[in-house]
Structure 1
Amino acid sequence: MSFKKKLFTTVGPLVLAFGILGGIFLSPFKFSETSPKVIEEASTSMAVNVIKGNILKNKAMATDTYVPFFGSSELSRFNAFHPSVLATKYDRNYRPFLLGAAGTQSLSQFLMLQSMADEMVGKKAVFIISPQWFVKGGVSKEMFSLYFSPLQTYQWAKNVEQIDDSDIYTAQRLLKFSSVRSDTTMKTLLSQIAQGKPLSATQKKMCQMKLNVLNREDELFGHLGMLGKQGKIKKEAKLLPPTYDLGQLDKLAFEIGQESTKSNQFQITDKFYQKRIVPVQKSLEGSQKDFDYRQSPEFADFQLFLSEVARLKMDVLFVIPPVNARWSEYTGLSTEMLDQFSLKINQQLKEQGFDQVLDFTQDRGEDYFMEDTIHIGWRGWVAMDQEVAPFLADTKSRGPEYQLDSYYFSKEWGKALPTAK
């Protein structure tokens, strides 16, 4: 066999493979379907690919059916009173599209929101704020990297026109993460925006080239690893009364909560308590006495989300869940500190015109309000639904007026301590 033939035999299949792969990525044809069934599965999957991608969530938001519920790990606590179950059982005019999972915080949620800007103008959303996000260091590098979306970041960079305080903050903040800096092209673009310099036409074309490949990746692989909770929702819905009745629902929530927490005095689900608490319980007593959620860069990250809400003329119901009082007493977590966190986050919201705030901080001791140490549970979901259902009776924004203040991006605000009332 000649040298040329040997070379072709060795290299030819590799070249052919790259050619096929390139054809797939550059082809204008679609290789996956975003059918209503697939979107329904995506709405309750909380899959990493869905959170980091665009095709599934954006297609959902383009309909009049789905409403984004931003949050984190509480969204995965499915029981009979979960928002997705209630909306299905009582055939509401909306279905929650769950955008969050354990580890998602304000920065990731900002990137998600801006990536579906065209679909969200003048619409409503629900945003669950976890006090636990607001630790001294803000979102961890590991958790941010898990949900970091190059697709959504290039999209944001390409769409930046007249640079304002929020754009500069976004670029500077993103550059603090190694998962962002490792992409040298992205690092260069963000560094320029961080200096207040708009991208050139050539740089925007570069962004678009990156987006073409990333969008095709999303189209091909965005549905992988996606396991919806439709079976769980149908099973839990069977426990509910056929017609919506608050008294019956609250009574049922109390009974199920009581039945589910027999093993401990903290009103924590038995499974969670036995698996997560019992092996380390002794070491947890008094372990949270120095925890503080009043000073954190998360306040500025949260301001990013608020700025995007205002830009899109959206209307958002913000929910602040409590911390299980029985557990916080055991661990030494300060209720005074939690009350002051509530004051601070309410100030940031209401002084800028975000007046739809459902603050459950003072419900920390209500029976079966929480499912475990920090996650809203049976009666908590029922209480939340009393505001969510009427708020979403019309999914179009009422057009609130916002007065954004760049002070909330500052380190001074992040470190400020509210005065307890």
Structure 2
Amino acid sequence: MKKKLFGIFGPILLAAVLLVLLFFSPYKINSSDPKLIKAASSSMAGNVLRGNSITKEALSTDNYVPFFGSSELSRISPFHPSVLAEKYDRGYTPFLMGAPGTQSLTQFMMMQSLGNDLKQRKVVFIISPQWFVKHGIKRDYFDAYYSPEQTLHWLLNLRKVQASDKYLAQRLTHYGVVRKDERLDRMLAAVMDGKLPDKTDLVFSKLKLNMLEREDELFSTIGMVSKQDMIDKNTKALPEKYDHTELNTLANQLGERATQGNEFGIQRRFYHQRIKPHMNRFENSQKKWDYRFSPEFSDFQLALDQLAKEHADALFIIPPVNGRWADFTGLSKEMLKQFSGKIKYQLTSQGFKNIADYTDQENTPYFMQDTIHLGWKGWLAADEKIAPFLADRKSQIQNYKINNQYFLSKEWQEMNPAEIK
């Protein structure tokens, strides 16, 4: 009987013992390995973005610059920031902090978990108008990059509940992946009431955070696929010396070659796979789309508040939408212009002055790679702002005037840009 029981439960007990030994052993990935950090910087891997160990190690040096964004960062071309920095030996490597589906809420969670590693640093932040839909970030997108580790890091470091904390707690409770954790749900309810979480909940959460941090140390490279080979390959298309005139000519040539065969100036493969089979469905399909009213404006304010707390300096890039595509789908160009005005008011009124707004470049040939993502000339134009901005990577103390009371409010989310004075 004992042998029979051992045959049933023995493997389970053995697995449990091995798991305990693994978690309490000194083994971890070598997050200070330069090759590992370089590979992680372009991977945009979920485990890297949801964790902290590799990113914090990268930002503890002056070798990496955080680039916050979303799907545009995943499209490697000769004019991608990672390629240009590599080819022209600019002394830094972009650490791509984003992926398809990441938006302001996810990016804020990454920012706050980095803590002092963002202090007085320069960062690049690409704002996509498409984030600012009626209900903000979709559940599937939020769930994909939700990090219990980063959430607990925020809660366990609270010393005084501020307006931004109340807002964040309220936003997090919109998502089932958060609310299914009863203790976390209870802690968020306390913060929404302006109170610090219960001490008992904090003790258990500290133990859980220790476990999550250990998982991060052990497993953050699982599923990580670097884009370094693609970056190296694309550097070969560039001239040996940086010459804007020569690069602009090359951007025109590559854009023309890649977009032949459709009237929208869209990369051929994207057009034939994603557009052509559904042309009838797309025509006039975006007439009612509106990016002027969204909780995303307040989610974005969380990121601005965090940058201000760390005295970080950011260059904000606002891409256009492909103009010919907007005409076909009925997407309002006046609405896009008003969106741009609203987000720029939120930035400039609080002291964020470095803004590269390309909304008016919607009809520039080869500026866009597809419908909404920067292309050959778009990235080259962005580089004209990025290169001088990062020539000195140390941020000076910024005179920010953060107004969370207004920009975290429903009033701001629903403010008509035409009424902003």
The gaps in structure 2 that reach 5 residues or longer are none
In the alignment, what sits opposite 2:213?
215
Give 1:31's match in structure 2, choosing from 28, 51, 65.
28
Equivalents in 2 of 1:210, 1:145: separation in Å?
A: 19
What's the % identity of the aligned pairs? 50
In the alignment, what sits opposite 1:290?
288
Q: Does 1:155 align with 2:167?
A: no
In the alignment, what sits opposite 1:412?
411
Q: Does 1:272 align with 2:296?
A: no
Equivalents in 2 of 1:171, 1:201: separation in Å?
A: 18
Instruction: Work out whether residues 122 and 390 of structure 2, in 8 Å CA contact, stay in contact via their aligned partners in 1.
Output: yes
Equivalents in 2 of 1:315, 1:200: separation in Å?
A: 36
Structure 1 position 121, deviation (Å): 0.9
In the alignment, what sits opposite 1:46?
44
Instruction: Work out whether residues 26 and 213 of structure 1, in 8 Å CA contact, stay in contact via their aligned partners in 2.
Output: no
Structure 1 position 201, deviation (Å): 4.2
Structure 1 position 207, deviation (Å): 2.2
Structure 1 position 420, deviation (Å): 7.8
SS state of the match for residue 341, structure 2? helix
Matches within 5 A, 1:358-397: 358-397=356-395
SS state of the match for residue 157, structure 1? helix
Amino acid at match of 1:414: Q
SS state of the match for residue 419, structure 1? helix
Structure 1 position 53, deviation (Å): 1.0
Structure 1 position 202, deviation (Å): 3.7
Equivalents in 2 of 1:375, 1:112: separation in Å?
A: 23
Instruction: Work out whether residues 135 and 296 of structure 1, in 8 Å CA contact, stay in contact via their aligned partners in 2.
Output: yes
Q: Does 1:249 align with 2:236?
A: no
Equivalents in 1 of 2:68, 2:154: separation in Å?
A: 19
Structure 1 position 200, deviation (Å): 4.3
Amino acid at match of 2:394: K
Q: Does 1:164 align with 2:156?
A: no
Matches within 5 A, 1:15-414: 15-27=13-25, 29-34=26-31, 35-405=33-403, 406-414=405-413
SS state of the match for residue 393, structure 1? coil
SS state of the match for residue 80, structure 1? coil
Structure 1 position 212, deviation (Å): 0.9
Structure 1 position 57, deviation (Å): 1.2
Structure 1 position 218, deviation (Å): 1.1
CA RMSD of aligned residues (A): 1.2
Amino acid at match of 1:21: L
Moved more, 303-312 or 194-203: 194-203
Equivalents in 2 of 1:366, 1:101: separation in Å?
A: 26
Equivalents in 2 of 1:399, 1:239: separation in Å?
A: 39
Instruction: Work out whether residues 187 and 198 of structure 2, in 8 Å CA contact, stay in contact via their aligned partners in 1.
Output: no
Equivalents in 2 of 1:282, 1:159: separation in Å?
A: 52
Instruction: Work out whether residues 289 and 333 of structure 1, in 8 Å CA contact, stay in contact via their aligned partners in 2.
Output: yes
Structure 1 position 365, deviation (Å): 0.9
Instruction: Work out whether residues 343 and 418 of structure 1, in 8 Å CA contact, stay in contact via their aligned partners in 2.
Output: yes
The gaps in structure 1 that reach 5 residues or longer are none
SS state of the match for residue 45, structure 1? coil
Moved over 3 A (4+): 3-6, 200-203
SS state of the match for residue 417, structure 2? coil
Amino acid at match of 1:22: V
Structure 1 position 94, deviation (Å): 1.2
Equivalents in 2 of 1:262, 1:7: separation in Å?
A: 69
Equivalents in 2 of 1:67, 1:73: separation in Å?
A: 18
Equivalents in 2 of 1:309, 1:59: separation in Å?
A: 19
SS state of the match for residue 364, structure 2? coil
Deviations 1:31-87 (A, max 9, x none): 322211111111011111111111111111111100110000000111000000000
Equivalents in 2 of 1:193, 1:22: separation in Å?
A: 33
SS state of the match for residue 212, structure 1? helix
Equivalents in 2 of 1:396, 1:191: separation in Å?
A: 39
Instruction: Work out whether residues 155 and 207 of structure 1, in 8 Å CA contact, stay in contact via their aligned partners in 2.
Output: no
SS state of the match for residue 306, structure 2? helix
Instruction: Work out whether residues 165 and 191 of structure 2, in 8 Å CA contact, stay in contact via their aligned partners in 1.
Output: yes
Amino acid at match of 1:31: K
Amino acid at match of 1:32: I
Amino acid at match of 2:367: F
Equivalents in 2 of 1:323, 1:420: separation in Å?
A: 24
Equivalents in 2 of 1:235, 1:41: separation in Å?
A: 15
Deviations 1:357-401 (A, max 9, x none): 111111111111000000001001010001101111111111111
Structure 1 position 300, deviation (Å): 0.6
SS state of the match for residue 42, structure 2? helix
Equivalents in 1 of 2:29, 2:328: separation in Å?
A: 51
Instruction: Work out whether residues 284 and 331 of structure 1, in 8 Å CA contact, stay in contact via their aligned partners in 2.
Output: yes
SS state of the match for residue 318, structure 1? strand
Deviations 1:328-381 (A, max 9, x none): 011110000000000100011110111111111111111110000000010010
Amino acid at match of 1:327: W
Amino acid at match of 1:352: Q
Equivalents in 1 of 2:179, 2:112: separation in Å?
A: 21
